[in-house]
């Protein structure tokens, strides 16, 4: 062979060899080994992505590690780095979870060995919630023994009328033994008794709380002897802003209850008769007259003869209702309410508003937890929660560990923000009166008020300096949508991963303005080149159905979003399902989305997450949702000063699943595509880190500035495994998509 031929052969060989490393040349490469290697890497990458989408993180880490070992592709290397980092964090959280389980099991033994054995069930519940296998843990002999003892302790607390203790114990039993409906029934009864004392005899109830807290602190001292009690009651009780039951029940009338009962009989989501409603109302009155201590508010209850006469009437009416047939059901409403009124006047003579309120509470408790009266006193707060606006100074507050009113953050562009209220400030006075010992609801009532009126707040900063601010109340628009962190110039930065262009939006509730807020944020994200989105619905309790439909429609171009149906026992047509509509500003199907949910994602949150999951439009990450899938409508009472909030139907997802959780349901809510559980301690740590990033502060020049340092971003990611799992899903999907585009 001539030198020229040999030289040409060498050049050809080099060209072919170099082409083997080009992603564009594999398809034409005659080298079977190269083709096989590419096919292997591609398959490993695909299998790793599929494993992640199913929450099999161990498998995905192993698969992508193999791909990285035989490929120099920087995309594979980056994916391997992301997956290994998440796997390391996941192992860390898993170890923390197991450590917490072992700690709680040890706590059970400590408490059993002390004089605080009734608190041992609390530790069992905490261990149960973090157990690797809940059923196996629940079946252990020593757990069953402790449950049997707790049942006896709860029954003893009931007999001794220690309602807070009974409420705690039955609450624990309901969590660790959820299949037994008795515990929920007993919990409701104990909670009702506690509520009665709290409403009508708040001083006595406060003493019960302090006693229970003292026992709890003593039990905690057994577990952590070196620490100080963390559940300290207020040093001072403030009567300046006390709201008594007369104010809360002002303008409540039995005629309103009568109208509400008729509406419930005619419009509840399933067939319900007056027998059920009347017997429930009578139970409510039984609890009222049978709860020791209420004679301090209503002296006539201390007269045994009068109370016995009223109780005998309740028993007779209950027997009559139970014996009534369908033909007589319609007569029960008038005869029952009229006789209650007559006998009350002749015996204990309680105020009409008290009888009306407690009868209504008992009657509607027979239906479901979400059907109830909205009395005149509650109407303003209810409207705030659904409308997303109120009149005030625009400040978020909380009670600190010493029960001081503490500023969480001012709301941007509000009177509080312009007056330079700061996170950490303590509100010491409201309109010149001490705020020490004031409850949150009392403070909100006094700080909010008619637009244009003024309020004076005394403040103490963390360094001890005191000042007083007088501010005019304005209409405050509370934004329901938040981004990743605050911009130095105001507003939100929406990117959780700037390099990969992954956006982050967190919706706190569904108001009439939520869809518009989402439109504005999405437009910003698109303009800034977003390629994926994490939509955080954790802790979102829901809100307006119309808002949920509009928000789901943003991600869907067609198909059913949600259907509402009544029970077959109720005559009448169902409402037509809500359908998605294609619009120009929809997020297209190629824009990857992750939805984060947890056990406190409810109602409208479940509609959005469920629709996006059923249509395979998003990957849902987190924990099974709450299961609040019932539709409530407002029925106005005469003069529209009060409303009945009544369940009229249930939500069904596009796949046919009912969201709602009934008493003995095994399937409810939305199951995530990828389950990532968090312990209570992990949730607290993540929420604290998240809240720090939401706080508004001020720069040295007085301009808006984030109240935390940029490093807080790392803290949030380090504390939140659900967010990290969602971020990993999007990073890997986007990387794979880029690789496919590059390979074409």
Tokens 């019960």: give the residue: 208
Distance CA 67, CA 71 (A): 6
| N residues, the chain | 744
Encoded tokens for 736:
């794979």
**Catalytic one among 60, 603, 605, 630?**
603
- What would the two tokens of residue 1 be? 């062979």
For 117, 558, 596, the CA distances from 588, given in Å and listed in that order, are: 58, 11, 20
Please give the structure tokens belonging to residue 136.
Answer: 């196996």
CB of 716 closer than 8 Å to CB of 687:
no
Phi-psi region of 542 (alpha: psi -120 to 50; beta: other; left: phi over 0): left
- The answer to whether 563 and 659 are in contact (CB under 8 A) is no
- Strand, helix or coil for residue 458: strand
Per-residue DSSP letter, 384: H
Number of neighbours of residue 323 by Cβ within 10 angstroms: 9
Residue 205's CB is within 10 A of a number of other CB atoms, namely 19
CA-nearest of 371, 198, 208, 361 to 286 is: 361
Measure the CA angle with vertex 472, ends 471 and 476; round to 5°: 105
* Residue 351, token pair as written in the block: 């105020």
Judge whether 614 counts as a catalytic residue: yes
Of the candidates 87, 614, 692, 715, the residue annotated as catalytic is 614
The single residue of 553, 628, 673, 720 carrying the catalytic annotation is 628
578 contacts: CB under 8 Å, gap ≥ 6: 545, 549, 560, 561, 562, 563
Residue 187 parent element (H or E): helix 181-200
> What distance in Å separates the CA atoms of residue 60 and residue 47, rounded to the nearest whole number?
7
CA distances for 495 relative to 474, 500, 501, 524, angstroms: 31, 9, 7, 11
Cα separation, 382 vs 390, in Å, equals 11
**Number of helical (H) and strand (E) elements in the chain, helices listed first:** 25, 24
Distance CA 716, CA 482 (A): 15
Residues 6+ away with beta carbon under 8 Å from 188: 365
Residue 603 annotated in active site: yes
The helix-helix angle for 329-346 and 304-323 (nearest 10°) equals 170
Distance CA 138, CA 124 (A): 9
Token pair listed for 223:
């577990």
Residue 133: CA count within 13 A, CB half-sphere: 5
Instruction: Tell me the backbone φ, ψ of residue 429, rounded to 5 degrees.
Output: -140, 150
The DSSP secondary-structure symbol of 369 reads T
Whether the CB-CB separation of 287 and 355 falls below 8 Å is answered with no
The answer to whether 618 and 595 are in contact (CB under 8 A) is yes
Phi, psi (deg, nearest 5) at residue 283: -60, -40
- For helices 352-365 and 329-346, angle between their N-to-C axes, nearest 10 degrees: 150
Residues annotated catalytic, as ranges: 603, 614, 628
């Amino acid at each position: 062979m001539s030198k020229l031929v040999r030289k040409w052969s060498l050049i050809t060989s080099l060209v072919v060899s170099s082409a083997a490393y080009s992603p564009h040349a594999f398809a034409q490469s005659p080298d079977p080994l190269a083709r096989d290697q590419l096919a292997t890497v591609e398959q490993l990458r695909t299998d790793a992505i599929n494993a992640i989408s199913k929450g099999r993180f161990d498998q995905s880490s192993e698969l992508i590690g193999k791909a990285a070992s035989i490929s120099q592709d920087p995309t594979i290397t980056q994916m391997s780095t992301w997956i290994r980092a998440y796997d390391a964090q996941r192992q860390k959280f898993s170890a923390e979870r197991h450590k917490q389980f072992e700690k709680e099991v040890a706590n059970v033994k400590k408490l059993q060995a002390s004089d605080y054995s009734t608190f041992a069930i609390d530790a069992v519940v905490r261990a149960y919630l973090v157990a690797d296998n809940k059923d196996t843990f629940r079946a252990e002999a020593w757990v069953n023994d402790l449950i049997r003892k707790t049942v006896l302790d709860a029954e003893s607390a009931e007999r001794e009328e220690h309602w807070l203790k009974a409420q705690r114990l039955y609450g624990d039993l309901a969590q660790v033994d959820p299949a037994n409906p008795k515990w929920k029934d007993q919990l409701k009864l104990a909670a009702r008794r506690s509520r009665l004392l709290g409403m009508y005899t708040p001083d006595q109830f406060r003493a019960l709380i302090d006693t229970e807290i003292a026992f709890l602190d003593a039990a905690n001292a057994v577990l952590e002897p070196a620490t100080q009690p963390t559940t300290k009651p207020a040093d001072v009780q403030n009567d300046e802003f006390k709201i008594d039951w007369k104010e809360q029940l002002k303008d409540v009338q039995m005629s309103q209850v009568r109208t509400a009962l008729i509406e419930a009989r005619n419009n509840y989501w399933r067939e319900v008769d007056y027998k059920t409603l009347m017997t429930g109302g009578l139970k409510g009155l039984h609890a009222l007259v049978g709860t020791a201590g209420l004679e301090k508010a209503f002296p006539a209850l201390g007269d045994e003869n009068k109370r016995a006469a009223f109780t005998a009437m309740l028993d007779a009416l209950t027997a009559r209702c139970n014996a009534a047939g369908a033909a007589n059901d319609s007569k029960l409403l008038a005869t029952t309410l009229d006789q209650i009124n007559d006998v009350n006047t002749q015996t204990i003579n309680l105020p009409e508003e008290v009888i009306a309120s407690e009868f209504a509470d008992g009657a509607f408790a027979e239906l479901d937890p979400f059907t109830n009266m909205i009395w005149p006193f509650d109407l303003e707060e209810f409207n705030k929660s659904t409308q997303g606006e109120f009149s005030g100074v625009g400040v978020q507050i909380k009670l600190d560990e010493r029960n001081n009113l503490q500023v969480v953050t001012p709301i941007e562009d509000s009177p509080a923000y312009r007056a330079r209220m700061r996170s950490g400030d303590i509100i010491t006075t409201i309109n010149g009166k001490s705020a020490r010992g004031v409850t949150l609801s009392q403070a909100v009532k006094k700080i909010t008020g008619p637009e244009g009126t003024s309020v004076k707040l005394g403040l103490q900063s963390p360094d001890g300096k005191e000042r007083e601010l007088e501010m005019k109340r304005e209409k405050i628009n509370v934004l329901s949508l938040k981004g990743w962190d605050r911009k130095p110039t105001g507003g939100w930065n929406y990117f959780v991963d700037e390099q990969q262009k992954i956006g982050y939006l967190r919706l706190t509730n569904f108001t009439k303005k939520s869809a518009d807020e989402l439109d504005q944020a999405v437009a910003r994200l698109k303009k800034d080149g977003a390629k994926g989105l994490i939509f955080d619905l954790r802790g979102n309790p829901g809100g307006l159905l119309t808002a949920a439909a509009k928000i789901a429609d943003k991600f869907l171009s067609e198909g059913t979003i949600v259907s509402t149906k009544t029970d077959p026992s109720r005559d009448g047509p169902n409402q037509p399902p809500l359908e998605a509509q294609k619009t120009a500003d929809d997020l297209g199907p190629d824009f990857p989305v992750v939805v984060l949910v947890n056990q406190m994602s409810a109602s409208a949150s479940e509609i959005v997450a469920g629709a996006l999951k059923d249509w395979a439009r998003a990957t849902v990450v987190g924990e099974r949702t709450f299961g609040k899938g019932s539709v409530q409508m407002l029925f106005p009472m005469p003069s529209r000063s009060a409303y009945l909030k009544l369940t009229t139907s249930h939500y069904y997802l596009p796949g046919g699943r009912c969201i709602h959780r009934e008493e003995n349901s095994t399937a409810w809510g939305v199951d995530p595509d990828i389950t990532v559980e968090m312990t209570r301690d992990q949730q607290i740590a993540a929420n604290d880190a998240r809240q720090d990033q939401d706080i508004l502060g001020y720069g040295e020049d007085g301009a808006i500035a984030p109240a935390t340092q940029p490093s807080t971003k790392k803290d949030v990611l380090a504390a939140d495994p659900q967010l990290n799992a969602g971020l990993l899903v999007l990073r890997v999907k986007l990387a794979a998509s880029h690789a496919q585009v590059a390979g074409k």
